[in-house]
Amino acid sequence: MKILLSTLFISLSLSACTTSESTTVTSPALDSPRNIIMVVGDGMGPAYTTAYRYFNDNPETNAIEETVFDRHLVGMASTYPARVSGYVTDSAAAATALATGVKSYNGAIGMDVDKKPVESVLEWAKKQGKKTGVVVTSQINHATPASYLAHNESRRNYNEIADTYIDEGIKADLYLGGGWQYYIREDRNLVNEFKSAGFHYLDDFQSLDKLPQQKPVLGLFAKVGLPWALDDKDKLRLSTMTKAATKQLESNQGYFLLVEASQVDWAGHSNDIASAMAEMTDLAKTMEYLEHYVKNNPDTLVVLTADHSTGGFTIAANGKYEWKPDVLRTMKSSPEKVAKHLVDMDITVKSTSDLLNFAVTPAEVNLLQHAKTQGAKEVIDFKKLDKNAQQQMKKKPSIKNSIYVAVKKLIDQRTNSGWTSGGHTAIDVPVFAFGKRSELFHGNIDNTDVAKKIFTLLGKK
């Protein structure tokens, strides 16, 4: 009986959405693009795109090769949140600004400072009869995609946000990313509810090239976020998902697609330059694909920006006028995965060199061995504490985390990379655009202007 009622509710919600869409269609701006692809490089401040240029450079040539980011840089955007949250934004407030054109407080998902829902460009595009979709490497109910799809006072309410993807009407025709933990729960199986609403469900990348046409799609490929690009079977998974999404969403009425390189931010928070460059590579390949796509579909607009910068990443540190990305180009696993292996292995020159895929020195091995010993001691000391004292500690110590920090330090020393923070910074971020009406995004703008210009192209006055 509950299943029947749930299915009936979903059907009624979809019916209501369809009715709303048919009654709110407006005339788009003159010469507007049929398709709009909004790309967010989460945490991707200007240091990341610059570092990618040098990381991507062919050291055998005298020239430093141009990147896809260099080709399409059109301006900069400010990122500050609503005054109540000061000058440094979090991902939720920034995504709300990019999605709705409204400044809000840190933590807000599609809500203004008074905690009232504000409409996103994705929601408006859906009302105009366009197909809509989201492609992310985080969970699909993380801050950025949620700000385009939901309304909640806190980004931390992951289950509530996941529920609204059904309960507040299904707003997208395609969802690709992670999130099993939130969509297949003991109290509710949202995957089954999407299936009842007519969605095709998949949980492996291999099925992306076999999607049924003219059918909505839900693809969840991890418990929470996807693996690091360095560790994934498909190291270009954002590109793979984006290719599938553009093919799936193509229609006479066009579409709005959100694409997020979510884990550039996660690498920044971790001060992990190796993982950051792998995530940037995946984003660059995605943008190169979109370049090709726009050439074949000139009525498409692509806009890329960051919500903020993360980590205070510095290309060159310690007063040395150098940055050496050579070792980053050879790595096949993330520093986190290397650390995980070293927990159960003897840390030797050979074992470490094999895992990092570059030759390490005895001094570097000593650094890692010391970290392992120190991590083990911290775990023992932690277990001796009473529960209250344990709960007061910000982070539970582990041998793996201790080694992970040491591996990142080793790589930072090799490359001469610097970091000032484990959080966000307030610097302006680059804006890239190409395709139809891309000239609208040129110059020095605010993050809210991105949404305002897209609303204009979608016919909202």
Mean pLDDT of the region 83-100? 98
Q: Calculate mean pLDDT across residues 196-216.
A: 95
Does the pLDDT value for residue 312 go beyond 70? yes
Give the Cβ contact number of residue 360 at 10 Å. Answer: 22
Report how far apart the first and last C-alpha atoms of the chain are (Å, whole number). Answer: 45
Question: Measured between alpha carbons, how far is 390 from 382 in angstroms, rounded to an integer?
Answer: 7
- The HSE-up count of residue 91 (CA atoms within 13 Å, CB side) is 26
The token pair that represents 104 in the structure block: 């809000």
**Residue 449 contacts residue 77 (beta carbons within 8 Å):** yes
User: From the candidates 32, 91, 120, 147, which is the catalytic residue?
Assistant: 91
Band of the pLDDT at 1, cuts 50, 70, 90?
very low
pLDDT of residue 391: 87
Q: Which residues pair with 75 in a beta bridge?
A: 431, 443
Is the pLDDT at 30 greater than 80? The verdict is no
Q: How far is CA 76 from CA 239, 330, 353, in A?
A: 24, 32, 41
**Distance between CA atoms of residues 148 and 128, nearest Å:** 16
Q: What pLDDT is recorded for position 395?
A: 87
Q: Which pLDDT band holds residue 17 (cuts at 50, 70, 90)?
A: very low
Q: How many CB atoms lie within 10 A of CB 452?
A: 16
Q: Which of 130, 127, 137 is nearest to 267 (CA)?
A: 137
The enclosing H or E element of 37 equals strand 35-41
pTM of the model: 0.93
Tens digit of pLDDT for each residue in 336-346? 999 999 999 99
Closest CA to 356 of 401, 409, 407: 407
What's the pLDDT score for residue 21?
41
Confidence (pLDDT) at 290:
98
* pLDDT tens-place string over residues 142-179: 999 999 999 999 999 999 999 999 999 999 999 999 99
CATH number of 324-415: 1.10.60.40
Model confidence over 41-73: pLDDT tens digits? 999 999 999 999 999 999 999 999 999 999 999
Residue type at 123 in one-letter notation: E
- Poorest-confidence range of 194-198, 268-272, 385-389? 385-389
Q: Is 275 a catalytic residue?
A: no
Residue 288, burial from CB neighbour count under 10 angstroms (0-12, 13-18, 19+): middle
Question: Which ranges of 151-272 does DSSP label H, i.e. alpha helix?
Answer: 158-167, 180-183, 190-196, 237-249, 263-269
The burial of 317, by beta-carbon neighbours within 10 Å (0-12 exposed, 13-18 middle, 19 or more buried), is given as middle
pLDDT-based confidence at residue 27 (cuts at 50, 70, 90): low
Q: Which CATH architecture has domain 2-314+423-457?
A: 3-Layer(aba) Sandwich (3.40)
Q: What is the dihedral of CA 68, 412, 87, 43, to 10 degrees?
A: 40
| Residue spans per domain, the chain | 2-314+423-457, 324-415
Pairing of the two strands 424-425 and 217-220: unpaired
- Residue 332 clears pLDDT 60, i.e. is over it: yes
Which pLDDT band holds residue 380 (cuts at 50, 70, 90)? very high
How high is the pLDDT of residue 28? 66
Asked if residue 129 has pLDDT above 50, the reply is: yes
For 389-414, what is the mean pLDDT? Answer: 94
**Cα–Cα distance, 461 to 444 (Å, whole number):** 22
Q: How many residues belong to the chain? A: 461
Q: What is the mean pLDDT of residues 324-345?
A: 98
What is the model's pLDDT at position 20? Answer: 37
DSSP states along 281-336: HHHHHHHHHHHHHHHH-TTEEEEEE-S-EETT-EES-TT-S----HHHHH--S-HH
DSSP string covering 354-388: HHHTSPPPHHHHHHHHHHHHHHHHHHHHHHHS-HH
Split at pLDDT 50, 70, 90, the class of 12 is: very low
Partners of 218 in the β-ladder: 175, 201
Token couple for 71:
């080709």
Looking at per-residue pLDDT, the higher value among 142 and 393 belongs to 142
pLDDT of residue 394: 83
- pLDDT tens profile 209-232: 999 998 999 999 999 999 999 999
